[in-house]
Amino acid sequence: MPELPEVETVRRGLDPVMTGQIITHAAVNRPDLRWPFPPNMAQRLTGAQVTALRRRSKYILADLSSGESLLIHLGMSGRILISGAMQGDFYHDHPAPAKHDHVVLQMGNGARITFNDARRFGAMDLLDTALGDAHPLLAQIGPEPFGNTFNETYLTQRLKGRATPIKTALLDQHVVAGLGNIYVCEVLYRAGIHPAHPAGKLPAKSVAALVPIIRDVLAEAIEAGGSSLRDYRQADGELGYFQHRFRTYGRENEPCTTPNCTAKIQRIVQSGRSSFFCPHCQPAPKIRNKT
């Protein structure tokens, strides 16, 4: 599933061709994706101007002049593609309609925005912009990792007393928004923290180090256009490239990239997800047996 860097990359691709533009025609080609579309979705979108394009965690929010916001989640295989408009040095003609083009927005500048989702795990909804933070999908999400409220003091308080593994804690969207399996693996490697280390037992200096490392990893991934795994593409159809910088994720039995480290990357399964780590650079926590 696309994580924060992939979603932010898509948002940045959409912003120049959508913000300030009127949706001259909206086509909704099926009644649902993961959940049913809101009533009269095509009619509510048609004629509205996109006043802003935001991201909240792994969701894109298009604020409309109608007072509503279009909420978009890419799911496992959702793609948003742009045609009929310049994107930097590139231009893509409008393609022929495809089987899984479920929502198509024609913009006033001639651009076409197409949401294609073969597996239909994505989602769209319309919500009151003023009450957006109260939407069931957004209400319980933690702070954005680039925001001021995500800091050493906050993270220390949220991890305090938690026996859950640090990998699981950082994946919890109530703790911090947008982090997924790929980037948490990369963060913990750079921090030298074993993914099974109890979150509440981390030394204060280790917790403090996590905040800037999380921001660095995400910023680098956004700069690289995200990670192209499975079905993910940028809004211009191009691939992301951060997967070429992975130091642990997907590298089981490959050499650790830390200079002078002779260990190989290992994999364990935590809550049904693969965790990749270096056993030397990320030593296992010492668990005291009760007597």
β-pairing, 123-128 with 86-87? unpaired
- Is 58 a known active-site residue? yes
Q: What are phi and psi of 186, to 5 degrees?
A: -65, -40
Q: Are residues 125 and 202 in the same domain?
A: no
CB atoms within 10 A of CB 91: 12
Which tokens hold the place of 111?
């651009």
pLDDT band at 240 (very low <50, low <70, confident <90, very high): very low
- Is 233 a known active-site residue? no
Q: Which residue has the tokens 């930097």?
A: 88
* Catalytic, out of 2, 16, 143, 145: 2
* Catalytic, out of 34, 54, 201, 273: 273
Domain boundary (105, 134, 163) is at 134
On whether residue 106 sits in a domain, the answer given is: yes
* Catalytic, out of 11, 56, 58, 167: 58
Q: Are residues 110 and 25 in the same domain?
A: yes
Domain boundary (106, 134, 162) is at 134
Q: Are residues 158 and 97 in the same domain?
A: no
Residue 154 pLDDT greater than 90, yes or no: yes
CATH no. for residue 189?
Answer: 1.10.8.50
Q: Are residues 13 and 64 in the same domain?
A: yes
Whole-number pLDDT of residue 48: 98
Q: Which residues pair with 76 in a beta bridge?
A: none
* Catalytic, out of 3, 6, 8, 186: 3
On whether residue 113 sits in a domain, the answer given is: yes
Query: Residues of 263-291 as b/e, b for ≥16 C-beta within 10 angstroms?
Result: eebbebeeeeeebbbbeebbeeeeeeeee
Q: Are residues 17 and 94 in the same domain?
A: yes
**Overall average pLDDT of the 75-95 stretch:** 77
- Is 290 a known active-site residue? no
Which structural domain range is residue 164 located in? Answer: 152-277
Q: Which of 2-16, 22-36, 81-95, 120-134 has the lowest mean pLDDT?
A: 81-95
pLDDT in tens, 1-17: 788 988 998 898 899 99
Residues 70, 53: Cα–Cα separation, whole Å: 9
Tell me which residue of 248, 218, 290 sits closest to 2, measured CA to CA.
218
